[in-house]
Structure 1
Amino acid sequence: MRKTYLLLTLLLLCVGISIHAQVTTASMSGKVTDTSSEAMIGANIKATHTPTGTEYYTITQPNGSYSFNNLRIGGPYVVEFSYIGYNTESRTGINLVLGEDLKLNVVMREDTQALDEVVVVADKNPIISGSRTGAQEIITREKMDKLPTINRSLDDFVKLTPMSSGKNFGGVSYRFNNVTVDGASFNNSFGLASALGASGTEPISLEALEQVQVMIAPFDVRNGGFTGAGINSVTKSGSNEFHASVYMYTKSPSMMGYRVKDETIGVSEFSNHQYGISLSGPIIKNKLFFFINGEMDRQEEPISYTTANSAADATVLQGLSDFLGDELGYNPGKFDVNKTNTQADRITARLDWNINSNNVLSLKYYYLKSFNTNNPSTSGAPNNGRGPNAFAIPFSSSFYRTNNNFNIWMADLNTTINDRMSNYLKIGYSRLRDYRDMDGGYFPQVDILDGDNNAYTTFGTEANSYNNQLNSDIWQIQDNFLMNFGKHQITVGTQSDYRAFKNGFAQNYPGSWVFNSVDDFKFNVLATKQYMAAHNGSVQGFDIREFNPKDFGFGSNVTGITNSSSTGYQYYAQRYSMTDDFPFAEINVFQLGLYAQDKWTVSDKLNLTLGLRIDVPFFMTDLQSNDKVAAETYRDGIKIDVSKYPNAKPQFSPRFGFNYKPFDDENGSLQIRGGTGLFTGTPPYVWISNQAGNNGVLFGDLNVRAVKDKNDNIISDGRPSLGFTGNMDTYKPAEGSATRSDIAITDPDFKYPSLWKSNIAADYKFGDGWVATIELLYSKDINAIYHDNIGLYRTEQFVNDGGAGNARPYYNGYYSDREGNQKAANHVVMLRNTSKGHSLYTTFQLQKNFVDGILKGLYLNGSYSFGQSRGVTDGTSSVATSAWKYRAALDGNAEEVGYTAGSFDGRLLLSASYTANWSKYAATSFGLIYQRYRPFRYSYCYNGDANGDSQFSNDLMYIPANFDEVKDHLLPGDFDSQEDAWKAMNAFIEQDPYLSKHRGEYAERNGAVAPFANQLDLSVSHDIKIYQKNGRSHTLRFSFNIANFLNLLNRNWGVVQTTVLGNQQYQFLTIPKGQGPSAANNYTLKYTMAKDLDETFKDNLNDVSRWQMQFGIKYIF
């Protein structure tokens, strides 16, 4: 009934009321001739940006050519051509697209001839453009206003790029994109999140953007700093007319679906509101203009589990809270937290000053203050996690807030020096501050179990949040000096920046404890207090086993010994500083970028672009040395020095682009374009920072575990009897030497990531404005990045798991333990380069913008892209050891090539918009985006350690062809016999599309894919003009954006599937304890089959499978 009501409401509204600095400007060029096709030398040309009155002047060169550089995007422009003795020619209605070089040729007639009518070129298609070479997508303001955007996010529109998959482009990870706004860096260059900042909010208002350009292979060397995509946005600017808008967008539980096929999901109370205002206009007409946007988000997300529907008992938790207050003077906060909050306040401001006809200055400012509240981290969590869930309810003190604030300033000066030369200077400073905070002050993190190795409750400072902060200061400069020499436009310039990062991260710095039960914790605290009272406040010599639990009112089964989950996490762990102050990892990097380019107009049909870019990174950081580590020898005889970063190495990026038009007339146009060249990006700087923070001399570690027997029973070795005081400094040594730890190092020969891209495309314009495109993009890694653990000792043995040959080497311990070394390190992970990745993608695209006739106002765009991308790693983690161990592989230290996470084998993308003008007072716009896509890729791995490297769930499994290949490996497990286990295993393999196709092979990383998903998003907006006078109007706009409209139509449609056993690594074969490969069992792998596993996939019942609506109201005047 509710769906019917919503659909009827939409229908009534429709008919019932009758984004490193990149290029941020556009260009215009062409040739002026007379009626005999002779060049007009010295003709005067004036281009006027009519909204602001900004005027640009130039004259034609000896060959009749002219050019305007660094023009404002948008329009409309009026261009006037004049020459003594000839009629003045005018062209109007010209609108410029970001990065475009519009070709505008004019034939002038003597003044005795009749004047031509003014030619309007507003419908000119920017795809058929002499400046277009490689793969790119332009998102105009009109598209942003008409197409659906349920999240009011830039991500809602960059997905319109055919060769994209999620936030990955051309198969390259999102970590290697470069996102800019007006040339200011808006991507998280440090690499701790996919977007700018860690709070998960949008860094800039969608209302502030004028155009967005997504470049995958731009062969203009002015564009750099990425190997994935350059996502370049330009903000709105003021004009000679005052404009303003006030808006509100909202989502609520009543505008969301709760049916997925036959499943009904419980209603969750939440709120999501966005409020904003925009103002623009002249300060001095034709001279000085302003634009400002202010916006705020207020979101509340529900927490579904409290003590009312969890195994955790409210009475027990209240008693624990009272106990903490009475005995330790600590308030853990409330335990039934029912919501989390997200807030964001944004400001975008801009001033544009036409100083004179030769100089235009633009000043921009961007502000963000935001945070979001997070549940306790799952890192190192006991069984079933820390909650809130059906098993465990944490206290609010263990939640944490992620804050993301920034202030960014940009200034650019556009100078026309003379008719041949111009200059564009851009400078900026970004001050970015990310940090965590929490309620309750600092206190050790305590996990309390339910007495059966499962999580029950958690309180105290989240173990990863103490001094968890990132300060980023970025200074940038870009200067482009252009010289026009007839057919040649020469550009020389620089794009350079200085980045200073200060990162704080120390896992378990407040101390992390695990107790078997609430009573165990209470007993430990009371016994500790009694002991300290008798020993002048000291815990020296304390042993919980010397106390009787009955003396404190507890049963004999209560030990008070710190305990852990069955997965074997530390019972007590703490990282401490080796200096007087908390040690932050600080790195400073200066990157010098220089380039030169020639845009050669060979003829009216052929344009060539030839350029060379040179990027040189300089690491300007003094690091501490580690003498013990420096004295050791690791794999292949490698010796390392953690005090040294790689020396500066220039990286050359030559590029060549072309655009050829065999014909371009009223009957149609054919454009063949493309290019080839090298693209150099920047690494996530957190990978570089790892060496500064994980050098073995900044921190010491205390790790206390109980010893367990083969049956998982605790065998105390005398250490896990520590007393809990609530003081995070109790067990920190006053002083000490560096302890053995993991080491991060950068290969002395390391280079910034670089990728060779080759692009070829053909655009054919036919009929009444239809444009068909076929495009191919091939990429080859030159310097990709991967993590290599040179500290792990590889034996001469190989693991026998059913596959033929020696595919999986066996590891055993660390090189640090080998003879002659000093036991100074565990894992030693080196950041290195590899050239083994590649990708190939093809796109077919058809689009049309209807500008007249009965379908005027209709825009259609459809594309189908397919291909694959392969690489050595996706680099999914920010910590060096984690980035190494989370890569699924046969040999985690080999340069094994697998599918990248962004690889996609087929994506159908359709977008359309239409505006129906009912009268001069009312109009309705419709927009839709449809995708048929693969939601994710995943790997089949063993659950356990299959190669002796002490890492779990990262070893790719062997897919047996028949029973003979498993009879030495498959254990009965939960089945009655090996035969029963094989029947279940074989049945599962047969029903799985990937496993059944690859029997007798090892699984590939990301080789398996989720089933295709279908998603249709819809937008409907209705404009009512409520006031009109002197050509100006006030408009009231109502809008609905609906994500997954298919699910609104039918609960069986739009449903996305996910894997039954998790997404990234599917593990249905478990290696039992004691059954890993080793010399004792002749390196033969043993495993068990998961029981009751019949299918690979299940329906995803989360938001992605359910329709959701956003309502908006906007007043424009």
Structure 2
Amino acid sequence: MRSLYSRILLLVLCLLAHQAGWAQGVTTSSMTGIVKDTKGQSLPGASVVAVHTPSGTKYGTATNSDGRYNLPNMRVGGPYTVTVSYVGYETKVLDNIQLALGMAGTFSFNLADQSSALQEVVVTGNKNGVFSSDRTGAATNITREAINSLPTLSRSLTDFTRLTPQANGQSFGGQDNRLNNITVDGSILNSSFGLAGQPGGRTNSSPISLDAIEQIQVNVAPYDVRQSGFVGAGVNAVTRSGTNEFSGSVFYNIQGDKLVGDRAKNTKLTVNNFSNKQAGFRLGGPIIKDKLFFFVNGELERRVDPATQYRANQGGETVAGNTTRVLASDLDNISNYLRTNFGYETGPYQDYNLERRSDKLLAKLDYNISDKHRASIRYNMLNSRQDVPINTGSFVSGARRGNLNSLTFQNSNYVQLEKIQSVIGELNSTFTPKLSNNLILGYTYQNENRDQGNAFPLVDIQSAGTTYLSFGFDPFTYNNLLTYSTLQLQDNLSYYAGNHTFTAGYNLERLSYNNTFVQNGVGVYTYSSLSDFYAAANASLAGSPTSPVNLVRYQQQYSALPGNALPTSRTKVTYTGLYFQDNWLPKPNVSVTLGVRADVPFFDKTGLLNQAASELTFRDENGKLLQVRTDEMPKARPLWSPRVGFNWDVLNNKTLQVRGGTGIFTGRPAFVWIGNQIGQNGILLGTTDVTNTTAIPFSPNIAANYPANPTLPPTYQLNITDRDFRFPQVWKSNLAIDKTLFAGIIGTLEFIYNKNINAIRYVNINQADALGNFAGPDTRVRYPGSAAANRLNSTITQNYYLTNTSKGSSYSLTAQLERPFTNGLFVRAAYNYGHAKDLLSAGTTASGTYGGIYSVNGGNYPSLSYSDNDLRHRVIGSVSYRKEYGNFGATQISLFYEARNQGRFSYTYSGDQNGDSFTGNDLLFVPNSASDLAFLPITNTANGTITTLFTAAQQAAAFDAYINQDKYLKDHRGQYTERNGVLMPWVARADLSLVQEFFVNVGKKRNTLQFRADVFNVGNLLNHNWGVGEFYINRSPLIAAGTTTAGVPQYRMATLGTGANQTLLTTTYQNSATLSQTPSVASDVWTAQLGIRYIFN
């Protein structure tokens, strides 16, 4: 029977699938309640009219036979004035009502008979949004007052979603931050391809100005089936609208190096010059009073940071601090040589800046068509770009930047673009007192290309075997292109039948992705010395077909398509959903929400068939044989999400409520995970990767080494998605109690449990079997060792198979005290204890994700372990107080405090311990005694002389001492470490906002001149020992160094320093500021922002 229902639903959804997209945001508020007389008898037909005072927008209805009224699809915020009247009874007016996003304001009235005019008219209700019959799961509402008052430097949503106790950065419920759903006015505004956690993340920009936001709601576990598209949290924001009064503001903020601390405990930091300037405006008002309104907002941001703190050596200087070994004369000479002979400008190598530009615009119209129909349309735009230092990948030995050994030039960096254009329209209709509708239609286009600049081959020059200097174009930028769009349609029809509110809806979403990614597309040459490069370049200028010197390595990817066509992978999916819900009030103080939704993804057939690969046989981790096709996408199957939630107003007076629910939530994956199959199919790209050759001469032409007739490369990587792959699903449950305590303070206790139903997992189905086990104390399985021997099929380097797992869960227990904004005072304090486990943490590429699976026996055999997003302890506190001084001005002070564990990390080996051809992901074995391990001497070679720095015995003693000073390692002697087993120390920081306002009367209106200071980590300003975190120095204390003839693993201990100045590790942690040395972005020192704003009415 269930199979029959699934087929019927699939057919219905197929018929709808070609219309548009899937939106999952609630954009309005509502009001409900019961009207009775003083004897408790219902008053059917009573008139209830709510007026949004600023705009004059009216919402009216009549009570039903039970005396109940419903006012749906109302503007968020307020204030509202509600008038209740009934023939023969006193009219009641209730004003100054504020409505929370996504919540129903509940207000019930007991009207007195006109013959008893002296009798009190009783009104019960609440104005804080916490006590609401719609509130079942875990949610945090953030009002405009909080947005205007609490500290922020980035002016992003993240500075306010942190008010949610269960938040761990941008992660909620232990889930990947890309599995959240962000909507603005119902418009889906995610970084849905998945290269960033949120829109604007590629350029560290916010997609929308805070000045445009009316309210924000964070839903961790809502049981309203209209809210979906996430397994972490739904972050809904609604924008401001114009009113009957013209109002607006202009502002200017500035940050800079003079507004940054330079002391983190005993560490004195060098503060590099930087600046960040923000400016913006907003303006709203009537076009036609009570009828048509406009709102417009714009904001600019310009940030300048030093590109590098490192500088060239003038000759004879000690290599230390920020003075590198790279000679300024070498850098100057190579720059002049390239300019003279190849016309290539390298740009400077030091004393230059990285810039970020971000422009935002929003325009909105609200139209009260009639008392029954209201429409809005909103357009917003982000145009941003950021300079990014050259990538350090695809090098032979040693990073290209960020250390004392190497330097690069400015023109080797790249520019990341992020452009968003979004338009959304909404129509709210109340056809009768029993029937209403909400319709949303929107389109969003996102461009995350990299600026292509001036393509020139990348050249790495070595010295003493490590990278010395680099020039040319970034290796991952040429033809790195990404654009995508989202077309969405959502319709909700609600019917009010006595104590039932039935909602039926559907939504559709059409997503299209175009991604081109060519690694090393410009060609990467590696030479062992500067003199070798000069020799090769001079030979090239002379027309030599070969290189006179040995080329250490040459790497390049190129299009294998006919005519060298752009190798773009295209992923297109239509996501459809149907849902039905009953909000039932079995008693006036009990609300039960019952709903079910089903969502089905339909993938277009955009994949290309690799016939040769389809004829190969692979094997999963359980030994099951598989054959795969690169052109087949996941099947269309319904994803069911039944939910039930309840709210019990225990005392029937909005002072004590018990609420909770359970249900399934379906989210979207990061579509890069699935799009990787189309891009990594073995036929789009060809690869050249040769070492120690003279056959390839240097050429400034990036196409010089393309094959004349590209064919299928001899070896390649495959990414395959399981045909039965299902989008992420989590079963969420929660139980909570809210209680009014004293002085308007509300206490909350809440428990949330999340169980994975469909999480993601990668398996390398081309992995050869292990050969056996190592000898010695560490007896883990041992793989063949060489890349070729680790392949089941010799032509396939790896075949990453994306599938599902149900393993993984999380829970959290939260205690919170809150006093909503009243009389200028807001207070919130909370403690959250969390626990999250999973199998892996997904990246953006299959190879990166699989290579990052920390395990004992290889990536195909991960253990359930602590998640990267595990949040163990978190304490937050926020307070804001505003005091006005008559007509003179006002002072406002706000503070946000957070104390938490800094995260988790895994102890692993450096290198490839188990021989599976993946480095840095093998979990460490902690010996009972370090003397049980086989150490090799650590040596240094200088002027042809080899010197032993540390013997095997010295390393064993040092490693034992290291284990003993680390509680986790000491407690795990004789055992393997766990993925993310180490819980890092606590750190506590406070952020302060101070606002001083001066009132100015202009005509009959009060205008305001505002001065503001925001200080993050203000404790460090008061005492340089406060607010400083600690971070691990090296999570890989041992370096894998092969095996003995008996099969016993050998090691060297990790060191600090270089050359003859190396020292062995002694401690786990040090101040994190001493590692980054970048106070312009560090959180260990205080950072301030100053601002001025003029507000007019």
Question: Is TM (by shorter chain) over 0.5?
Answer: yes
What SS does structure 1 have at the residue aligned with 2:628?
A: coil
- In structure 2, the residue matched to 1:1035 is 1008
Q: Report the equivalent of 1:492.
A: 504
- Percent identity (aligned): 36
Residue matched to 2:529: 517
What's the CA shift for 1:154? 1.2
- d(CA) in 1 for partners of 2:1040 and 2:515? 38
Structure 2 CA distance, aligned partners of 1:47 and 1:116?
A: 24
SS in 2 for 1:250: strand
Change (3 A) 1:116 1:848: farther
Equivalent residues of 2:791, 2:798 under 8 A apart? no
Shift of 1:363: 0.4
Give the residue type in structure 1 aligned to 2:328: A
Is residue 94–residue 120 contact of structure 1 (8 Å, CA) maintained in 2? no
Deviates more, 1:120-129 or 1:951-960: 120-129
Q: Report whether the alignment pairs 1:967 with 2:932.
A: yes
1:1003 aligns with 2:972: no
CA distance in 2, matches of 1:223, 1:215: 9
Where do residues 215-614 of structure 1 align in structure 2 (5 Å cutoff)?
Answer: 215-303=219-307, 304-307=309-312, 309-336=323-350, 338-381=352-395, 383-387=397-401, 389-439=403-453, 441-449=454-462, 451-532=463-544, 539=545, 542-544=546-548, 560-563=549-552, 570-580=553-563, 581-614=565-598
Distance in structure 2 (CA, Å) of the matches to 1:470 and 1:119:
60
Q: Which moved more, 1:840-849 or 1:783-792?
A: 840-849
C-alpha deviation, 1:796, in angstroms: 5.1
d(CA) in 1 for partners of 2:764, 2:435? 53
Give the Cα separation in 1 of the matches to 2:24 and 2:360.
21
Distance 2:427 2:591 in 1: 28
Q: Among residues 767, 771, 777, which one is paired with 2:752 in the alignment?
A: 777
Deviation at 1:299, TM superposition (A): 0.7
The aligned residue for residue 618 of structure 2 is 634
1:1087 aligned partner: 1051
SS in structure 2 at match of 1:112: helix
Aligned residue type for 2:1084: S
Whether 1:882 aligns to 2:885 is no
> 1:506 offset after TM fit, Å?
0.7
Provide the residue aligned with 1:736 in structure 2: 710
Residue 495 of structure 1: how far off its partner (Å):
2.4
> Gaps spanning 5+ residues in structure 2: where?
1-22, 314-322, 940-948, 1056-1063, 1074-1078
1:1068 aligns with 2:1068: no
How many Å apart are 1:384 and its aligned residue?
Answer: 4.5
Instruction: Pick which of 286-295 and 21-30 moved more.
Output: 21-30
Which of 867, 877, 896 is the aligned partner of 1:929? 896
Q: How many residues align?
A: 1032
From the superposition, tell whether residues 340 and 167 of structure 1 become closer, same or farther in structure 2 (CA, over 3 Å). same
Shift of 1:58: 1.2
Q: Using a 3 Å threshold, how does the CA distance of structure 1 residues 121 and 664 change in structure 2: closer, same or farther?
A: closer
Looking at structure 1, the residues matched to 171 and 273 of structure 2 have their Cα atoms a distance apart, in angstroms, of: 33
Secondary structure, counterpart of 1:102 in structure 2: strand
Change (3 A) 1:181 1:121: farther
Question: Secondary structure, in 3 states, of the residue corresponding to 1:791?
Answer: coil
Q: Which residue of 2 aligns with 1:762?
A: 737
Alpha carbons 2:1013, 2:1090 under 8 Å: kept: yes
Provide closer, same or farther for how the CA distance between residues 375 and 801 of structure 1 changes in structure 2, counting only shifts above 3 A.
Answer: farther
For 2:11, the equivalent position in structure 1 comes to none
Q: C-alpha displacement at 1:320, in angstroms?
A: 1.5
- Equivalent residues of 1:91, 1:118 under 8 A apart: no
The question of whether the paired residues in 1 share the 8 Å contact of 2:108 and 2:125 is answered with no
Write the distance in 1 (CA, Å) between the matches of 2:177 and 2:401: 30
Once the two structures are TM-superposed, the CA of residue 628 in structure 1 deviates from its matched residue by: 1.2
Aligned residue type for 1:168: S
Amino acid at match of 1:748: R
* 1:203 aligned residue (181, 204, 207): 207
Alpha-carbon distance between aligned partners in 2 of 1:918 and 1:94, rounded to the nearest angstrom: 25
Question: How much has 1:721 moved relative to structure 2?
Answer: 4.2
Change (3 A) 1:1048 1:753: same
Residues 1:375 and 1:204: Cα distance change in structure 2 (over 3 Å): same
**Alignment match of 2:910 (pick from 943, 948, 956):** 943
Q: Match of 2:810? A: 839
Answering whether residue 1030 of structure 2 is matched by residue 1044 of structure 1, we say no
Measured in 2, the distance between the counterparts of 1:284 and 1:649 equals 49
Deviates more, 1:207-216 or 1:123-132: 123-132
Change (3 A) 1:664 1:766: farther
Gaps of 5+ in 1: 1-19, 533-538, 545-559, 564-569, 707-718
TM-score, normalised to structure 2, is: 0.91
Which residue is 1:1111 aligned to? 1090
Paired residue for 2:797?
826
Superposed displacement of residue 393, structure 1: 2.6
2:612 is paired with a residue whose SS is helix
Name the residue aligned to 2:190.
Answer: 187
SS at match of 1:830: strand
Amino acid in the other structure paired with 2:1088: M
Whole-Å Cα distance in 1 between the matches of residues 958 and 789 of structure 2? 43
Residue deviations 1:649-674, cap 9 Å, x none?
10000001011122144xx8221111
Give the letter for the 2:720 counterpart: I
Deviations 1:905-957 (A, max 9, x none): 11111111111223321111010011111222110001111222111100111
Shift of 1:619: 0.3
Structure-1 separation of matches of 2:785 and 2:953:
33
Q: Structure 2 vs 1, CA of residues 418 and 1049 (structure 1 numbering), >3 Å: closer, same or farther?
A: same
Taking a change above 3 Å as real, the CA distance of residues 138 and 800 of structure 1, as seen in their structure-2 partners, is farther
The answer to whether the aligner puts 1:992 opposite 2:981 as a matched pair is no
* Structure 2 residue 846 is the aligned partner of structure 1 residue 860: no
Post-superposition CA distance 1:776-830 (Å, at most 9, x none): 0111100000111111112251344625xx65453566799878x5x33110001
Does the 8 A contact of 1:92 with 1:118 survive in 2? no
- How far apart, in 2, do the equivalents of 1:800 and 1:576 lie? 46
- Asked whether the equivalents of residues 772 and 845 of structure 1 are also in contact (C-alpha less than 8 Å), the reply is yes
Output the aligned Cα RMSD: 2.0
Distance in 2 between residues matched to 1:133 and 1:285, nearest whole Å: 38
After superposing the two structures, state which structure 1 stretch, 376-385 or 358-367, moved more: 376-385
Larger mean Cα displacement after TM superposition, 579-588 or 751-760: 579-588
| 3-state SS, counterpart of residue 882 of structure 1 | helix
> Do residues 954 (structure 1) and 933 (structure 2) align?
no
CA distance in 1, matches of 2:215, 2:696: 61
Is the CA contact (8 Å cut-off) linking 1:938 and 1:1005 kept in structure 2?
Answer: yes
Q: CA deviation at 1:25?
A: 0.6
In 2, Cα distance between equivalents of 1:205 and 1:168: 22
Is the contact between residue 792 and residue 815 of structure 1 (CA under 8 Å) also seen in structure 2? Answer: no
User: What's the secondary structure of 1:281's corresponding residue?
Assistant: strand
What amino acid maps onto 1:409 in structure 2? V
- Cα pair 2:572 2:606 within 8 Å, conserved: no
Paired amino acid for 2:302: R
How far off is 1:222 after superposition?
0.4
- One-letter amino acid of the structure 2 residue matched with residue 879 of structure 1: T
Letter of the aligned partner of 1:1046 in structure 2?
Answer: G
Distance, in Å, in 2 between the alignment partners of 1:122 and 1:453 is 75
Assess, with a 3 A threshold, how the Cα gap between structure 1 residues 120 and 1094 changes in structure 2: closer, same or farther: farther
Q: 1:815 to 1:373 in 2, by over 3 A?
A: closer
**Contact 1:187 1:195 (8 Å CA) reproduced:** yes
